[in-house]
């Protein structure tokens, strides 16, 4: 998964990775929906960058936020990074679902039955 030009390892087929990512993404969404009251702009920027940075570190490992933010405390960069995580997860979800569907179709009972019928017809001749 690529975030702000930095490539990170993420396995959409690994339960631990997916659970961790989903939990962290939900934390960020909840924190952004319910920020502390009476924030000024400076506090809002720090708050947003911190929660997105924590999300990055918890999903991809310690130091990930530093790599992505490159030492900056920039709210726009933090929100863009969070969006890239969300898009990356959606793309991997689509790939995962496609693979499941392909496997299901390949081994569905109807397919096995048709193959068996075809085999039996050849043997009867």
The whole-model pTM stands at: 0.77
Provide the residue range defining the domain that includes 50. Answer: 1-83
Number of domains into which the chain is organized: 2
State whether 19 and 38 are in the same domain.
yes
Give the 3-state secondary structure of 16-70: HHHHHHHHHHHHHHHHHHCCCCCCCHHHHHHHHHHHHHHHHHHHHCCCHHHHHHC
Read off the pLDDT of residues 39-79 as tens digits, 9 standing for 90 and up: 899 999 999 999 999 999 999 999 999 999 999 999 999 99
Co-location of 109 and 56 in the same domain: no
The DSSP annotation for 90-116 comes to: HHHHHHHHHHHHHHHHHT-HHHHHHHH
What three-state secondary structure class fits 123? helix
Query: pLDDT tens-digit profile of 75-92?
Result: 999 999 999 999 999 998
């Amino acid at each position: 998964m690529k975030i702000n030009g930095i490539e990170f390892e993420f396995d959409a087929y690994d339960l631990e990775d997916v659970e961790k990512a989903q939990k962290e993404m939900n934390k960020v969404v909840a924190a952004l929906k319910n920020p502390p009251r009476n924030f000024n702009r400076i506090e809002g920027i720090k708050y947003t960058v911190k929660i997105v940075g924590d999300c990055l570190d918890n999903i991809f490992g310690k130091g990930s936020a530093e790599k992505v933010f490159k030492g900056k405390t920039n709210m726009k960069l933090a929100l863009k990074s969070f969006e890239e995580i969300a898009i990356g997860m959606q793309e991997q979800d689509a790939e995962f679902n496609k693979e499941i569907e392909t496997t299901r179709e390949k081994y569905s009972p109807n397919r096995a039955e048709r193959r068996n019928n075809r085999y039996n017809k050849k043997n009867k001749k």
